Structure formats: structure tokens, C-alpha cells
Copies of this chain bind each other. A is one copy, B any other.
Amino acid sequence: MEEANHNRCENCIIRQFNSLRAMSKAELKKVSDSKITKKVKKGEALFEEGDKLDGVFCVREGISKLSKLSANGKDQIVKLASKGEVMGQRSVIAEEYTNLSAVAVSDMEVCFIPKDSIVHTLSRNPDYAIEILRHMAHDLKEADDVIVNMSQKTVKQRIAEAFLYLKNNYGEDDQGFLVLTLSREDIANVVGTATESAIRIISEFKKKGMIRTSGKKIGVLNEKLLQDLIEGF
């Protein structure tokens, strides 16, 4: 008899948050039998731009940055993926080389699911396809928002937005610092600016009492001031 352990996808809570929840028991069993659980240390890459992925990564723990190298040698972080998110779906579905790199920004635990079980389910279970479609439609809408933000907001506004985003999505620790700690360089790469500019703006926010820092850690002190700045006051 099979043991009901937590390494089985059937029992994995994470699944509830992503498209895998539309899979049948049998499909899920197949996925579970073929998947590999991996630990990835902060700073390590899950995959690199241009890789051919033969599967997707389901995030169980930790956070990964998805970035793209620009012609002038700077990394642009396009998305942060955390618990429950599935990375690499796009490339697997479109059968293309991936256009993004994935690097852990905190220690991670991920499940690698070979593409066979994904593709197989896709062509047989319309609910699963629709579920992925919904997720992708959502991502696309978010991407549109990012495009508008990038082109219409100032760097200051984008950094303020980033801090509120980090607060709302990953929360604060008991001392009020953002749980997800990014390097200044990563922050710069999220908002698409030079590292020095990001550092300068962080200093300015600190002087104005909007945030406080302790080493790399950042704590939001005055959410309203940040919000006002974002809205252009």
C-alpha cells in the first residue's frame, strides 16, 4: 500500500494554488511518480535564458527571480515567483527555448515535473488547459501593467511601488522589515534603473521617513507617503 506522505503531489497543499489542481487523481499520481524534489540555495540558478526545458518547476518554498539579460549587459527582473507558482510553463507549452533565467533569491525547495505528464494532461483534460489559460491570461494582464509602469512612471515611483508590492505579497517580519530581502542591485533590476540610482532613492526615502533600513533589510514606515508619491503628489 502507498504511504500518504507529504512528498506526494496528491497531498501537497501548494497544488491548490496553481493549475495542477485541475488534474484528476490519476494524472496527479503520474506527475507525482515522475517529479523530482530539489533544494536550491540562494543565488543558484534553476535555469538560464536560452535553455531548453524538459519540464516545469513548482515552487514549494522560497522565491525566485525571473530575469532577462538586455543588450547592454543589465539584467531586467520581469517577475518574482513564490510558493505555488509554476515556472517554465510557457516554454514547455510553446515548445520554445526559455526567454528567461530563474535564480533563487532565497533558499528554495522546488519540484521538477517532467514535461511529458504536463503535455499529456494538456491534450486530454480541457479543465487543466483552461486553468493554465486563466493563469496565463492573468500574467499577461500583469505584464501589460508592468509595461505601462515602466514607461509612464518615474524611477522613484517604481521603487515606491516595489516596496509596497513586497510588503503586500511577502509580508513583514516581527520587527517590521520586509520578509523578502533583495540586494540593492536586484531592486534596481526590478524597476529597471542603475544600481546607484536605486541606492540614492533609498537614501532619500530614508531621510524622508518613508522607510528605514538595517543592512540590506528594508522596513516600510509610512505607507501613505509612498502611496502619495506613486500617485504623483
Q: Knowing A90-B141, A137-B94, A140-B139 touch, does A70 contact B152 (C-beta < 8 A)?
A: yes
B136 in contact with A140 (CB, 8 Å): yes
User: In the complex, what residues of B have CB within 8 A of residue A231's CB?
Assistant: 71
Within 8 A of B (CB), among A136-168: 136-141, 143-148, 150-153
User: In the complex, what residues of B have CB within 8 A of residue A132's CB?
Assistant: 133
Interface residues on chain A, number (Cβ under 8 Å): 46
User: In the complex, what residues of B have CB within 8 A of residue A124's CB?
Assistant: 126
Q: Knowing A126-B123, A126-B126 touch, does A144 contact B74 (C-beta < 8 A)?
A: no
Most buried by B among A100, A136, A152: A152
Q: How far is the CA of A14 from the CA of B143 in the complex (A)?
A: 27
Neighbour of A72 across the interface among B76, B137, B232, CB < 8 A: B232
Answer yes or no: A134 CB below 8 A from chain B CBs.
yes
Neighbour of A147 across the interface among B133, B143, B232, CB < 8 A: B143
A99 in contact with B136 (CB, 8 Å): no
User: In the complex, what residues of B have CB within 8 A of residue A133's CB?
Assistant: 93, 122, 129, 132-133, 136
User: In the complex, what residues of B have CB within 8 A of residue A70's CB?
Assistant: 148, 151-153
Interface residues of A (CB under 8 A from B): 68, 70-72, 74, 76, 78, 89-90, 93-94, 96, 99-100, 122-127, 129-130, 132-134, 136-141, 143-148, 150-153, 191-193, 231-232
